[in-house]
């Protein structure tokens, strides 16, 4: 018999209990042993839940029970989730998690502690919900040097952008719709300002390149400045605007960033709409592979949590070849002003400004003129160079969105 404990009986926690219960037979067959949830830690009581009798309020009864060997942390937030995780790993208990904040912030330390104490720390559910991505990066793509990963990693913002693009809904209205459907929190900042995606970008960068960046320090723009006019304009040029978490290694330096991007409709990420997520990996041997599916939700995320639990129960923790991360220092980090890509620029201007713009930007691609608006796509230019040219041309800028 293998005893597990769950930390948190919120959405993902109750989903995990449900998966472990509903598919108990299947899971026990794979594991080759009986699997029992012994405790569920939560501050609240759940008298009406079928799992209510398992609820405890005191973490120490889990930590001090030697029968518990696998712990699933689904509390959300950095504390006490990090502290409980660390205590479990120090005690040699393996931990799986859906908590991207803890993985992105403390992953290096927790992976090291796990390795030192014969435990495993797995986090398939922390990126892309139910979509397999962490294990495929570690195992299926093991023979490859990954060069870049671009992902739609936040379903809330993708839903909002899809509504804006397909229905012409203004941002505020689309956000309200997302909230009423339960896709967005009452305080939506972590989603719409990009921090949620930034944490996931940091985790993917660390999986690909072995270095953990600071999720609060990477370049991060949300979607609050995107208008329905932008999405319509992009569409007319053959692009869809997506919030893209992007990481790449260039000249030995690592870039991780989040920003809205014009994605060509021919790119597999260009057709991913609504709350779905997609992650496109570019690697030297395999070329490009994409993983697509539900990036959030109770049972999909729980499926990923339980796949990690099964992994630990099937193999001993020492049989799982965990990644080794180090925290990136300044020399590892790509200097963002040098980041080069093409951009859509929209100026408040008329045709009379074309000479000025051509003088500053050279070729103006996909040029569009509308009353009082002049839009075009630039050649690939660095961030710093783009700033300079925009400033030099002396025209009011309305929108500036990178291409993928």
Active site residues: 200
Are the CB atoms for 5 and 95 separated by under 8 Å? no
**Dihedrals phi, psi of 94, to nearest 5 degrees:** -75, 150
Q: Which helix (H) or strand (E) holds 119?
A: none
The residue among 73 and 311 lying less far from a second copy, judged by its C-beta, is: 311
Binding status of residue 264 toward a second copy by CB under 8 A? no
Q: How far is the CB of 188 from a second copy (least distance, A)?
A: 24
What would the x/- binding string for a second copy be over residues 357 to 376, using CB under 8 A? --------------------
- Of 25-33, 66-74, 94-102, 211-219, the segment contacting a second copy by CB under 8 A is 25-33
- What is the spatial distance between Cα 95 and Cα 322, in angstroms, rounded to a whole number? 12
Binding status of residue 283 toward a second copy by CB under 8 A? yes
CA separation, residue 326 to residues 76, 79, 219, 257, 400 (Å): 23, 22, 20, 19, 34
Binding status of residue 234 toward a second copy by CB under 8 A? no
Q: Residues touching a second copy: how many (CB under 8 A)? A: 50
Q: Answer positive or negative: Cα dihedral of 213, 225, 354, 352.
A: negative
Q: How far is the CB of 105 from a second copy (least distance, A)?
A: 25
**Dihedrals phi, psi of 180, to nearest 5 degrees:** -70, -25
Residue 174, both tokens: 């689309």
The residue among 76 and 323 lying less far from a second copy, judged by its C-beta, is: 323
Binding status of residue 288 toward a second copy by CB under 8 A? yes
CB crowding 177-203: b at 16 or more within 10 Å, else e: bbeeeebbeeebebbbbbbbbbbbbbb
Q: Which of 331, 376, 332 is nearest to 353 (CA)?
A: 376
Q: How far is the CB of 21 from a second copy (least distance, A)?
A: 11
Asked if the bond preceding 80 is cis, omega within 30° of 0, the reply is: yes
Q: Answer positive or negative: Cα dihedral of 123, 126, 129, 134.
A: negative
Which one of 135, 176, 365, 400 is in contact with a second copy (CB under 8 A)?
A: 135
Binding status of residue 314 toward a second copy by CB under 8 A? yes
Q: Which of residues 292-311 bind a second copy (CB under 8 A)?
A: 292-294, 297, 299-300, 302-304, 306-307, 310-311
- What is the spatial distance between Cα 363 and Cα 370, in angstroms, rounded to a whole number? 19
Residue 154, classed as helix, strand or coil, is: coil
The residue among 23 and 356 lying less far from a second copy, judged by its C-beta, is: 23
Which one of 47, 53, 143, 182 is in contact with a second copy (CB under 8 A)?
A: 143
What would the x/- binding string for a second copy be over residues 316 to 355, using CB under 8 A? ---x-x----------------------------------
* Alpha carbon 242 to chain centroid, angstroms: 13
What would the x/- binding string for a second copy be over residues 110 to 129, using CB under 8 A? --------------x-----
- Of 58-66, 95-103, 106-114, 284-292, the segment contacting a second copy by CB under 8 A is 284-292
Are the CB atoms for 212 and 107 separated by under 8 Å? yes
- Of 22-30, 46-54, 213-221, 226-234, the segment contacting a second copy by CB under 8 A is 22-30
Residues interacting with a second copy, by CB under 8 A? 19-20, 22-23, 26-27, 30, 32, 124, 130-132, 135-136, 139-145, 268, 271-272, 283-294, 297, 299-300, 302-304, 306-307, 310-311, 314-315, 319, 321
């Amino acid at each position: 018999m293998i005893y597990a404990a769950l930390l948190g009986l919120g959405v993902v926690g109750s989903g995990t209990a449900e998966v472990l219960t509903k598919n108990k037979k299947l899971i026990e067959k794979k594991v080759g042993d009986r699997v029992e949830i012994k405790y569920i830690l939560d501050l609240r009581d759940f008298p009406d839940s079928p799992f209510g009798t398992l609820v405890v309020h005191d973490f120490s009864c889990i930590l001090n029970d030697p029968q518990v060997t696998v712990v699933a942390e689904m509390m959300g937030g950095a504390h006490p989730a990090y502290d409980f995780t660390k205590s479990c790993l120090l005690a040699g208990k393996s931990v799986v998690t859906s908590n991207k904040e803890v993985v992105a912030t403390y992953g290096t330390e927790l992976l090291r502690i796990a390795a030192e104490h014969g435990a495993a720390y797995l986090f398939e559910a922390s990126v892309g919900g139910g979509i397999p991505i962490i294990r495929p990066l570690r195992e299926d793509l093991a023979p490859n040097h990954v060069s870049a990963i671009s992902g739609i990693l936040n379903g809330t913002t993708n839903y909002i952008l899809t509504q804006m693009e397909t229905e012409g809904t203004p941002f505020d209205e689309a956000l309200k719709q997302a909230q009423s459907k339960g896709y967005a929190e009452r305080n939506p900042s972590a989603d719409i300002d990009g921090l949620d995606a930034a944490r996931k970008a940091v985790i993917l960068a660390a999986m690909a390149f072995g270095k953990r960046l600071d999720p609060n320090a990477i370049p991060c723009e949300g979607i609050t400045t995107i208008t329905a006019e932008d999405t319509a304009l992009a569409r007319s040029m053959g692009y869809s605007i997506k919030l893209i978490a992007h990481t790449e290694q260039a000249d030995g330096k690592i870039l991780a960033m989040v920003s809205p991007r014009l994605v060509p409709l021919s790119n597999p990420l260009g057709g991913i709409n609504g709350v779905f997520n997609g992650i496109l990996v570019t690697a030297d041997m395999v070329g490009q592979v994409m993983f697509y599916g539900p990036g959030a939700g109770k049972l999909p995320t729980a499926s990923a949590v339980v796949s990690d639990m099964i992994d630990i129960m099937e193999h001993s923790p020492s049989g799982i070849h965990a990644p080794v991360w180090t925290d990136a220092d300044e020399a590892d980090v790509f200097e963002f002003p040098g980041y080069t890509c093409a951009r859509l620029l929209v100026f408040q201007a008329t045709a009379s400004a074309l000479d000025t713009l051509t003088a500053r930007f050279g070729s103006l691609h996909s040029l569009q003129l509308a009353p009082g608006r002049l839009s075009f796509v630039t050649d690939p230019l660095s961030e710093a160079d783009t700033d300079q040219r925009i400033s030099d041309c002396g025209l009011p800028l309305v929108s500036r969105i990178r291409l993928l």
